[in-house]
Amino acid sequence: MSVQTTFTSTQVRALYLDYFASKGHLKVASSSLVPHNDPTVLLTTAGMQQMIPYFLARETPPATRLTSAQKCFRTTDIDKVGNERSLTFFEMLGNFSVGDYFKREAITYAWEFLTQVVKLPADRLYPTVHPQDDEAPLYWHEIAGFPDEAIVRLEDNWWGPPGASGPCGPDSEIYYDRGVEHGCGQSDCQPGCDCERFLEIWNLVFMQY
């Protein structure tokens, strides 16, 4: 059986939303690029944004598990456009748990989707965690077999809050190794390096604060 190695964006979007629907997530539409209820940003920058009222218990979510393909515009990345990793306008695929599952399941789903659904080679994938998060590395070991020393700790593995205050917490990112030929050649080149070898393809945000 041959393995499909290229996908259109339409295929990836459908595979993602269908996978999370199969795990009990309600598919919700992308919100407007101009946020209707968030004065902290001019434009929608993340799939998380339309979910924030649910995390703050200001609104009742239509389900505790949600998934979306959100149109995003990143003005903060404008200066970086031209490298091979940053975009201004894109769609962000997201799965959200409002008081339902947490780190273990989030890591399980991400790993299963990447390695079983789109079948990225596991030996090209590298998880990173926040240095103060002692829980996520245990799951990366248990679920995907990464030894502790293979998990890179990055200070910037932290999400939010989007404004002066609000939901925030450590995150765990997944990087795809594009190959040594894309790298800077430095001996300390690893996920988080500023060169174009390791591409961040997933950010698992754990909003525990």
Closest to Zn ion by CB, 147 vs 185, is 185
Q: Considering the complex, what minimum distance in angstroms separates the CB of residue 178 from Zn ion?
A: 11
User: Locate tokens 């609104």: which residue?
Assistant: 59
Cβ 20 to Zn ion, closest distance in Å?
32
Nearest approach, Cβ of 126 to Zn ion (angstroms)?
Answer: 13
Nearer to Zn ion, 81 or 184 (CB): 184
Residue 154 beta carbon to Zn ion: minimum distance, rounded to whole angstroms: 14
Q: How far is CA 147 from CA 124, 137, 139, 151, 170, in A?
A: 15, 9, 11, 7, 20
In whole angstroms, what is the distance from residue 167 CA to residue 207 CA? 6
By CB under 5 A, name the binding residues for Zn ion.
183-184, 189, 193, 195
Q: What 3-state class would DSSP assign to 27?
A: strand
Q: Could you give phi then psi for residue 83, rounded to 5 degrees?
A: -80, 180
Tell me the closest approach of the beta carbon of residue 197 to Zn ion, in angstroms. 5
Q: CA angle 100-114-83, nearest 5°?
A: 110
Which helix (H) or strand (E) segment is 74 a member of? none
Beta bridge partners of 170: 158
Decide whether 15 or 189 has the Cβ nearer to Zn ion: 189
**Look-up of token digits 């456009």:** 81
The one-letter code for the residue type at 48 is M
Closer to Zn ion by CB, 164 or 180: give it. Answer: 180
Q: Which is nearer to Zn ion, 15 or 193 (CB)?
A: 193
